[in-house]
Homo-oligomer: A and B are copies of this chain.
């Protein structure tokens, strides 16, 4: 049944492949066609073009397919069509828990809609990122870039080739999913103001991060509104360690409340301050960004401006898949809300003891 069509080569069996395709799992539409007594192309149509063949033939073919437990060969399908039912997700840093939820959201949506997720990381390097993106482009139907580091033009160039969705950054002409930071930030700043704080520090993230710039803008605006002083501090890297390192600057700044570019910085900062005997939140209030996994493990648990990361991931995937399946608009930007998650690391400012 499944013998090769060229009987002559069968004479030289060749090396026995340990994991050959000689199992029972490799029925083709030709096999089905033979069993059902129709032409292979009819089988193809029955299996992919709904309604193109008569109900009777349809059933015949489906039965045969089931009997042979047929599964399409994705490569054979991808070759002529270009469709792969696969999309790529490139994250700046797999180490960073911010992306965990994004990955999860994207993966879940992919599975639900019968797509497969392919994952890559750029190690925070624009060059690596572009390389990975190019490589992926060949094998996927579309691409999601989470917090991309490459410049806008490169992103648009990729988007010209296949659908691309960007997370955590706005790029003209490309569909994006961005948390709208204003609501969360203004909630946070108002809460700090209400607790008697007068001077707020913002610990910035990587210089090339679009989102860091947005957050600093938002903090400035909100502070102006609430008539608070805002100072900006720089971090070396957006990690727990970076947070520890910036503690000195924070104390020197004289601010009684700190917002950090992300939760990792906040956690590191809090650890270092507490180690130095500073009581959080009595002496300094700390507010992070993102509400990553583990943000509530700390003592006190971290107050943070939550970005719905899972929603970002699934939203981006949905946007992309809609685009792929032709029911997408164009380059629309999906805005998701941020909100303040009030926990223990921020609160009333007590008079210095």
Contacts and interface: CB of A to CB of B under 8 A. Distances in A.
Interface in A73-109: 73-76, 78-79, 82, 84, 86, 94-95, 97, 100, 103-104, 107-108
Interface in A11-25: 19, 21, 23, 25
Interface residues of A, number: 47
A97 B100 contact: yes
Contact of A97 (B79, B86, B108, B293): B293
Interface string A108-141: 1001000011111100000000001011111100
Interface stretch (A185-193, A214-222, A294-302): A294-302
Interface stretch (A158-166, A226-234, A253-261): A158-166
A41 interface: no
A73 B78 CA distance: 10
A contacts with B: majority SS: mixed
A178 interface: no
Given A119-B119, A161-B25, A297-B294, A73 B104 contact: no
A117 B116 contact: no
Given A19-B162, A160-B23, A138 B95 contact: no
Contacts of A138: 71-74
Contact of A299 (B119, B160, B298): B298
A267 interface: yes
Given A116-B120, A297-B294, A297-B298, A76 B79 contact: yes
Contact of A117 (B74, B120, B134): B120
A163 B299 contact: no
A19 B330 CA distance: 13
Interface in A39-89: 71-76, 78-79, 82, 84, 86
A19 B163 contact: yes
16 contacts: A19-B162, A25-B161, A71-B134, A74-B138, A74-B139, A75-B84, A94-B100, A95-B104, A97-B100, A97-B293, A100-B100, A107-B119, A116-B118, A117-B120, A294-B297, A298-B299
Interface of A: 19, 21, 23, 25, 71-76, 78-79, 82, 84, 86, 94-95, 97, 100, 103-104, 107-108, 111, 116-121, 132, 134-139, 160-163, 267, 293-294, 297-299
Given A73-B79, A117-B120, 5 more contacts: A21-B82, A74-B138, A75-B78, A97-B100, A100-B100
